[in-house]
């Protein structure tokens, strides 16, 4: 069965395609603006808080908090650094009392890094300081803008969860 299209029908399809393309471009521009705003907020959070350790070290502590004891090779993949760099980082964090090492009960040859109570306290203090910096800024927003920001919290939480899933998935690819 063959379908015949009139010139008017093709024009409508073409117009619809152009409209969809225009909407996609506009949507992409909005997403880019949102991503840029989030990037700038991340930079702001870094600037407004006292850092005693690197961002990679803090991220590694957060990974250990979230997922429990991990192999150093796992952590290297998750954090996007080399295994020797992660080994050096874990050694430093261990010296500072933020991380401990333990044998893997399933394979005694394997050493796992784990978060210490001191490491947990450090993360909590760092998060509280960062949150307080944002609270001071949020308080300056008009009421309507505060409401929009609060409405976005579930989407922001989902972005964090999606990132965690991607990072965890990357470590499973290595077989560790």
Higher confidence at residue 88 or residue 12? Answer: 88
- Taking the C-alpha atoms of residue 73 and residue 124, their distance in angstroms, rounded to an integer, is 25
Q: Evaluate whether 61 touches 123 at the Cβ level (below 8 Å).
A: yes
- CATH number among 1.10.10.10, 3.40.50.300, 3.90.79.10, 3.30.200.20, domain 52-173: 1.10.10.10
122 burial class (0-12, 13-18, 19+ CB within 10 angstroms)? buried
Residue 25 has a pLDDT of: 61
Q: DSSP states of 6-59 as a string?
A: -HHHHHHHHHHHHHHHHHHHHHHHHHHHHHHHHHHHHHHHHHHS--SS-HHHHH
**What's the mean pLDDT when you consider all of the chain?**
84
Beta bridge partners of 102: 112
Residue 27 has a pLDDT of 72
Instruction: Flag the least confident range among 9-18, 120-129, 160-169.
Output: 9-18
**Percentage of residues of the chain with pLDDT beyond 90:** 45
Q: Which of 123, 126, 107, 110 is nearest to 66 (CA)?
A: 123
Q: Would you place residue 96 in the very low, low, confident or very high pLDDT band (cuts 50, 70, 90)?
A: very high
Residue 88 has pLDDT above 60, yes or no: yes
What pLDDT sits at residue 108?
A: 82
Q: Is 141 helix (H, G, I), strand (E, B) or coil?
A: coil
pLDDT at 176 over 50: no
Using one digit for the tens of pLDDT, what is the confidence trace for 135-153? Answer: 988 999 999 999 999 999 9
Q: What are 22-61's pLDDT values in tens digits?
A: 566 667 788 888 888 888 888 887 787 777 899 899 999 9
């Amino acid at each position: 069965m063959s379908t015949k299209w009139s010139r008017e029908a093709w024009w409508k399809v073409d117009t619809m395609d152009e409209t969809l393309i225009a909407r996609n471009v506009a949507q992409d521009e909005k997403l880019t603006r949102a991503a840029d705003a989030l990037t700038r907020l991340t930079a702001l959070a870094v600037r407004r808080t006292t850092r005693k350790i690197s961002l990679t070290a803090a991220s590694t502590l957060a990974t250990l908090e979230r997922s429990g004891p991990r192999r150093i090779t796992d952590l290297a993949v998750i954090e996007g650094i080399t295994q020797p760099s992660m080994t050096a980082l874990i050694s430093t964090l261990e010296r500072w009392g933020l991380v401990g090492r333990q044998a893997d009960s399933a394979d005694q040859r394997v050493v796992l890094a784990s978060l210490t109570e001191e490491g947990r306290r450090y993360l909590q203090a760092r998060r509280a300081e960062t949150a307080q910096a944002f609270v001071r800024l949020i308080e300056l927003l008009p009421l309507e803008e505060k409401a929009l920001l609060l409405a976005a919290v579930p989407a922001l939480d989902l972005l964090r969860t999606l990132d965690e899933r991607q990072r965890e998935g990357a470590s499973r690819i290595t077989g560790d």
